[in-house]
Chains A and B, each alone.
Chain A
Amino acid sequence: MKVYTLEEYNTMSKSPEIVFWVGCAGSFDPRAQKITKALVKILHHAGLEFAVLGNEESCTGDPARRAGNEFIFQMMALQNIETLNMYNVKKIVTACPHCFNTIKNEYPELGGNYEVLHHTTLIQKLIDEGKLTIEKGKFEGKKIAYHDSCYLGRINNIYETPRSILKQLDASLQEAKRNREKGFCCGAGGAQVFKEEEEGSKKVNHERVGELLEGNPDIIAANCPYCILMMNDGVKSKEKEEDVMVYDISELIVQANRW
């Protein structure tokens, strides 16, 4: 198993089937790196040729734009589009709903047109095509509570694909009181993750984790690295880190298949 960059592919005069957009969290945050590696394993086992941009990748600009700093957003976005277009990239997969949303919905107006998939959509496709199977057994009898991220769910209307993958894990799937289009934010979006919350009665992620823990799940599953950071923090604040694990869907597949 080796991870190639697009540059390396380019020098081999080849192009990969898909580009894996790793994102800042997936690149730098130790917890989110595990999601990156899980997706690499899935792509590898499914036999999909992929490449990453490595040091040629920049932040998509999502937090800057939502903070209100359009200059920095444009700097990031235009640079990325230059790079992607230079390599003639057609298809992108990412494990971050923020990157997914920005590349899919905001880059076209700036001249970047690609087919963009969130990794849960790709995973379901690989399952449908028979390229990926999920071993049964690992999660038998476990309870998994699913958290909809805003940027995959409410903003991009992807509610059922992640659920259908989780159902194939042999566990019992729990819904939070507020789910799907009513899903409650983890508190990270809109560049909030880079600052302290304003004064209030509680933290957004504590509120959300409290709700997810109502059914005493063994696992909280999410689809966004920032949600996962927020959920982890929330679980710790409730001193439940011994009992409840927070995972991305890709990590659960890797665990199920004992890769």
Chain B
Amino acid sequence: MVQRLIFIAVLAGVSFVAYKKYVRIFNIIRLGKEEEIADRKSERWKNVFLVAFGQKKMFKRIIPAIMHLFIYVAFLFTQIELVEIIIDGVFGVHRFFADKIGFLYSLIINSIEILSVLAFVATVVFLWRRNLLKVPRLVKPEMKGWPTLDANYILIGEIILLIGIFSMNGADAVLQNLDPEHYPATGGIISAAIGEGIFSGLSIGTLQGIERFGWWLHILTVFGFLLYLPMSKHLHIMLAFPNVYFSRLKSRGEISNMPEVMNEVKSMMGLIEESTDAADMSAELPDFGAKDVFDLSWQNILSAYTCTECGRCSSVCPANDTGKKLSPRKIMMDIRDRAEEVYTKIESENIDKKDYDDGKSLFDYISEEELFACTTCNACIEACPVLINPLEPILELRRYKLLTEAKGPEEWLPMFTALENGGSVWQMPDQRFDWANSINQESTS
């Protein structure tokens, strides 16, 4: 009874705090510019099934893909057991489903146990790849400090979770023989072996203690994860789905149009009626591009929070691969960190986002050196398993530099001048057809 009350209290407390934390993430994402993304629903759902649920893009790198799949499927399956744990906890029963769904129960338990062993292997492999093998993309400069700690915390958390599952099921397996009335058979083969190997010969009281310890360890670790996710890169286990759903479906080659600039140029060229509205003339020119999280689409911020810092983007980036500072992963991390900073201040000082000004911007995180090193090759976009597009914010930041601040690499100026004056990237007025002279002379001679 005491256990039951404690559980209900913990469950209620965790639910409350989790609700607050996830609403907070939702609000942070809404710091971005409003944009309706409601088209091509069937294509979007198809992406969710293939790319998010089906892990399609992970399989471009087979070893991490298989290891990741172990953990992912184990996670999905464990959710079934979690339902039972919560029912057991709230109602003070033991293995609620065991005698209700018959053979299916032992199938589920065995699946969970096999997947848990595989997930354990994968977790160890991941710890090894990060900390001993030091896979290059996992140890790049932007991974120093918190990002590396965060990744290791998650992996260690997974191991604790597995210790919980197996001490619970292992002790339970022995108890099933000693006290079949209270401990219905689960049919778990791995837990039976663990029980026999480690826990056999212990007294019923000790076994009950171990089973309870495992049960509580398991559920508390799950609660811990739930509360930890919103401040971790591991949030991808939730946000990958909406991020994939809302990802851009237009052609990769199409950079988003700027209608306000288009109309301005059209009226300059006399293609549309020039606005004669006096109020319009005196109006201040709007800022173009993005300098802060408010100027990016909410979809970009969702992506930033979805990023799990795997670094596939940066490992294929031609700039990053040749030692430049630009790292598409860092761009996404910077957007997230800046959004976090902004929202923390908004929260604590209760300010409206329209009035927000702390004298800082994304440019305090992202340098021009990084921005202008991008070749727009789209390799980062191709590489991302959850359809994050780092190029879009890079371009928006470039637009701010070029259009609003009139800055950018000086070497581009001659190109721009040549374009403005002669319509070509090189200053060679009226020579665009000269290449044909030799051909046309031949044909006349």
Interface, chain A (partner B; CB < 8 A): 1-3, 5, 22, 24, 26-28, 33, 36-37, 40, 52, 54-55, 57-59, 61, 63-72, 74-76, 78-79, 82, 101-102, 104-106, 109-110, 150-151, 154-156, 178, 181-182, 184-185, 187-192, 194-204, 206-208
Q: Which of B253, B401, B430, B439 contacts A3 (CB 8 A)?
A: B439
Q: What are some 17 contacts across the A-B interface (CB < 8 A)?
A: A27-B424, A27-B432, A52-B433, A54-B436, A55-B433, A57-B423, A66-B255, A71-B265, A75-B265, A106-B255, A178-B316, A181-B382, A182-B379, A189-B376, A190-B376, A197-B322, A198-B326
Q: Are the CB atoms of B255 and A74 closer together than 8 Å?
A: no
Which of B254, B378, B395 contacts A68 (CB under 8 A)? B395
- Which of the segments B62-70, B182-190, B218-226, B405-413 contacts the partner chain? B405-413
Q: Which of B369, B409, B414, B428 has the most CB of A within 10 A?
A: B409
Structural contact, A63 and B424, CB atoms closer than 8 A: no
Which residues of A sit under 8 angstroms from B265, Cβ to Cβ? Answer: 71, 74-75, 78
With beta carbons under 8 angstroms apart, the residue of B376, B399, B420, B435 that contacts A75 is B420
A244 CB to nearest B CB, Å: 21
- Please tell me if B419 contacts chain A, counting CB pairs below 8 Å: yes
The reply to whether the CB of B262 lies closer than 8 angstroms to some CB of chain A is yes
Query: B431 contacts the other chain (Cβ, under 8 Å)?
Result: yes
6 further A-B contacts with Cβ under 8 Å, apart from A71-B265, A72-B419, are A40-B439, A70-B399, A74-B265, A102-B253, A110-B257, A194-B414
CB-nearest residue of chain B to A190:
B376
B39 to chain A, nearest CB (A): 15
Contact partners of A202 in chain B: CB under 8 A = 322-323
Asked if A190 meets B433 with Cβ closer than 8 Å, knowing A68-B289, A79-B423, A200-B323, the reply is no
CB pair B433–A64 under 8 Å, yes or no, is no
When the two chains form the complex, which single residue of B257, B376, B432, B439 contacts A57, counting CB atoms closer than 8 Å? B432
- Bound together, the chains give a CA A192 to CA B425 distance in angstroms of 13
Please give me the residue from chain A that is nearest to B436 by CB atom: A3
Looking at the assembled complex, report how far the CB atom of A185 sits from the nearest CB atom of chain B, in whole angstroms: 4
Inter-chain contacts of A27 with B (CB < 8 A): 424, 431-435
**CA of A36 to CA of B382 in the docked complex: distance in angstroms?**
31
Question: Interface digits, B251-264 against A, CB 8 Å rule (1 contact, 0 not)?
Answer: 11111011001101
Contacts of B326 in A (CB 8 A): 198
For the complex of A and B, list the 6 residue pairs with the smallest distance between their C-beta atoms, beginning with the closest.
A201-B323, A68-B398, A58-B423, A200-B323, A190-B376, A54-B433
Interface size class of B (residues with CB under 8 A): 35 or more
Is there contact, CB below 8 Å, between A191 and B319? no
CA distance A189 to B316 in the complex (A): 15
Tell me the smallest distance from the CB of A148 to a CB of chain B, in Å: 10
Q: Is the CB of B254 within 8 A of A106?
A: yes
**B269 close to A (CB within 8 Å):** yes
Please tell me which one of the listed residues B254, B288, B408, B415 contacts residue A70 in the complex, with CB atoms under 8 A apart.
B288
CB-nearest residue of chain A relative to B433?
Answer: A54
User: If the complex has contacts A28-B428, A150-B375, A150-B377, are A70 and B403 also in contact, measured as CB distance less than 8 A?
Assistant: yes
* A66→B431 CA distance, assembly (Å): 25
Contact with A along B16-31 (1 / 0, CB 8 A): 0000000000000000
- Does B398 contact A76, Cβ atoms closer than 8 Å? no
Cβ-defined contact, B262 with A191, below 8 A: no
A204 near B375: Cβ-Cβ < 8 Å: yes
Given contacts A196-B411, A200-B324, contact A187 B376 (CB under 8 A): no
Q: How far is the CB of B128 from chain A (nearest CB, A)?
A: 26
B374 at the interface (CB under 8 A from A): yes
Contacts of B377 in A (CB 8 A): 150, 154, 185, 189-190
Are A37 and B435 in contact, CB atoms less than 8 angstroms apart? yes
Rounded to whole Å, the gap between the CB of A23 and the closest CB of chain B is 9
Task: Return chain B residues, CB-CB under 8 Å to A66.
Answer: 255, 376, 395
B416 touches A72 (CB 8 A): yes
Residues of A close to B288: CB separation below 8 A? 70
Q: Is the CB of B375 within 8 A of A194?
A: no
Binary CB contact string for chain B from 214 to 237 against chain A (1 if under 8 A, 0 otherwise) = 000000000000000000000000
Q: Once the chains are docked, how many angstroms separate the CA of A206 from the CA of B403? A: 32
Cβ contact within 8 Å between A207 and B409:
no
Q: What residues of chain A lie closer than 8 Å to B323, measured between beta carbons? A: 199-202
* Residue B130 is within 8 A (CB to CB) of chain A in the complex: no
Contact A75 B419 (CB under 8 A): yes
Residue of chain B at shortest CB distance from A200: B323
On chain B, the residues within 8 Å of A72 by CB distance are 416, 419-420
Q: Assess the B318–A185 pair: CB atoms within 8 A.
A: yes
Would you give the shortest CB distance from A32 to chain B, in whole angstroms? 9
Contact B253 A151 (CB under 8 A): yes
Q: Hey, which chain B residues are within 8 Å of A106, CB to CB?
A: 253-255, 257
Q: Shortest CB–CB separation between residue A4 and chain B, in angstroms?
A: 9
- With beta carbons under 8 angstroms apart, the residue of A22, A61, A150, A201 that contacts B432 is A22
B357 in contact (CB, < 8 A): no
Any A CB within 8 A of the CB of B426:
yes
Instruction: Say how far B385's CB is from chain A's closest CB, in angstroms.
Output: 14
Contacts of A102 in B (CB 8 A): 253
B352 interfacial by beta-carbon distance below 8 Å: no
The reply to whether B419 and A76 form a contact with Cβ atoms under 8 Å apart is: yes
Which residues of chain A are within 8 angstroms of B428 by Cβ–Cβ distance?
A: 28
Please give the distance in Å from B319's CB to the nearest CB on chain A.
7
* B439/A207 in contact, CB under 8 A: no
Q: Determine the distance from Cα of A61 to Cα of B376 in the docked complex, in whole angstroms.
A: 14
Q: Does B373 contact A (CB under 8 A)?
A: yes
CB < 8 Å neighbour of B261 from A71, A156, A199: A71
